[in-house]
Amino acid sequence: MKQITKLLSWKKLKEHSADISKTTIAELFVHDSKRFERFSIHLGDMLFDYSKNPITKDTIRLLHNLAEDCDLMRKIESMFIGDKINFTEKRAVLHTALRNTKGKPVKMDGRDVMPQIRAVLTHMRHFVESVHSGEWTGCSGKKITDVVNIGIGGSDLGPAMVCSALEPYSNFGIKTHFISNIDGTHITETLKIINPETTLFIISSKTFTTQETITNANTAKQWFLKKIAKHEKDIAKHFIAISTNEKAVKKFGIDPRNMFVFWDWVGGRYSLWSAIGMSVALQIGMDNFEAMLHGACEMDTHFRNEPFEKNIPVIMALLGIWHTNFLGKCSHAVIPYDQYLFKLPDYLQQLDMESNGKRVNADGEQVSHSTSPVIWGNAGTNAQHSFFQLMHQGTQVIPVDFLAATQSHNDIGEHHKILLSNYFAQTEALMMGKSESEAREELEEQGLSAEELDTLLPHKVFPGNRPSNSFLYKKLTPAMLGAILAMYEHKVFVQGAIWNINSFDQWGVELGKQLAKQILPELEGKSTVTTHDSSTNGLINYYKKNR
């Protein structure tokens, strides 16, 4: 495929962006009384409103033309049918099969993968129910009360986020903890607050060789042996593995019957739907875990089958491309007005930036356009009191996704109404802003002198014309969360497909890790290190003198 910047549809969008810049989003509402109806979609209990973007019918038509020129429909189908679209690693990308609750066959290399997926789900259910019932106990016969997931990247961010998001469904007496950082502080502080007799450790590592995970796992093992274990075999009652390396798992002391497998066609940042979600299942139960899978499956069906003009992930992706490539926006904020979703921005950072933070296309050529924006955010209303100043009056225009539920899990007093009043107000304020004349009128009502008014006036003006998407859904249930996460996954996929990059490898993670392995032995002993550039040498030698 030739560079997308050479496509006629790309050039047409460039021309169109110049026209769009001559008007504001607020003016577009004035000229179109049915703008909200035209640029919003209902799907089940979710409403997606994208009308507060600098777009017209022509914008959407031109973006659809770009998607068609990039053969998007075929690329979507290639993912679902198990083609090896992760071409640098020669792997299929079948996380959608993990949540294929409709049970239809999904073939890879001519073999249906669904029987092995169902077998792992059954294995998970048996284990989860044995822990909840008290059939599975620790080595001293006490019931499990705490679960510690030890992983990193996708083996940590996804499960940790979901466990926070679905806390209202934690009805099984299990508290989850997550250890990922190699910084000893992370595991030390976690071990302080758990009881080794009632704690189950989940070691989540596909290869069982990931440095951070295995180092933390060995520390947890030594702590456990020191605290209560009478025999090495007691490890088997307190440690399970999510892995494919049975030999290493067995050597660690884990019973292979308590190893839960997943496959190389499951990328780390897409793995929470697999046995990597064991911590989630233990916290909320397998019925709720499978309800989350079903919600994701419903979004998969929508994404695969709906025409582009009614397809939520496709529209989200095209809007992101519009902002990134044609309007010059280099970051994107995600603001959930739901405290349970406070970890969602962290999760989406990895999903988006590790997937599409690429500079080389499928043909090995350097791309001639921007790829992934910087993803960031925090929960509302906290975000309003930290970085919304920049969003309203800063020099950068930052597109935003706002998410909220119409029904709260904790509907006490006026809290939820106040929360939603802020949710609605922020999208309007970002779009409308406050003109100089409006600001002047407000200041005049305060009885200021002419000099005071003129001094203060520029600081009270809000430029507005700041774009946003709004997602409003009935309640944050397991099924709704599954749909939201699948929606963002597919958005990322569509953008990678149009940019003609591989969204499913992550070679950029490797270089620093390779260099760290070279540096680690240099930190031993007292000899001065001279093998690096002067800055790195200086930093290492300062550490060695002051450790």
Q: Which residues are catalytic?
A: 354, 385, 513
User: What is the DSSP track for 464-503?
Assistant: ----EEEEEES---HHHHHHHHHHHHHHHHHHHHHHT--T
Q: Around Cβ 149, how many Cβ atoms within 10 Å?
A: 26
Residue tagged 């940790």 (tokens): 160
Peptide bond into 198 cis (omega under 30): no
d(CA 108, CA 124) in angstroms, rounded, equals: 23
User: What is the DSSP track for 301-334?
Assistant: HHHHHS-GGG-HHHHHHHHHHIIIIIS---EEEE
Q: How many residues does the chain have?
A: 547
User: What is the DSSP track for 75-127?
Assistant: HHHHHHTT---BTTTTB---HHHHT-TT----EETTEE-HHHHHHHHHHHHHH
Task: Report helix, strand or coil for 137.
Answer: strand
Contact indicator for 481, 471 with CB cutoff of 8 Å: no
d(CA 74, CA 244) in angstroms, rounded, equals: 32
243: left (phi over 0), alpha (psi -120 to 50) or beta: beta
Q: At what angle do helices 72-80 and 286-305 cross, to 10 degrees?
A: 150
Q: Which amino acid is at 191?
A: L
Give me the torsion for CA of 166, 167, 170, 174, rounded to 10°: 120
Q: Which residues of 103-122 are buried (b: 16+ CB within 10 A; e: fewer)?
A: eeebebeeeebbeebeebbe
Contact indicator for 165, 108 with CB cutoff of 8 Å: no
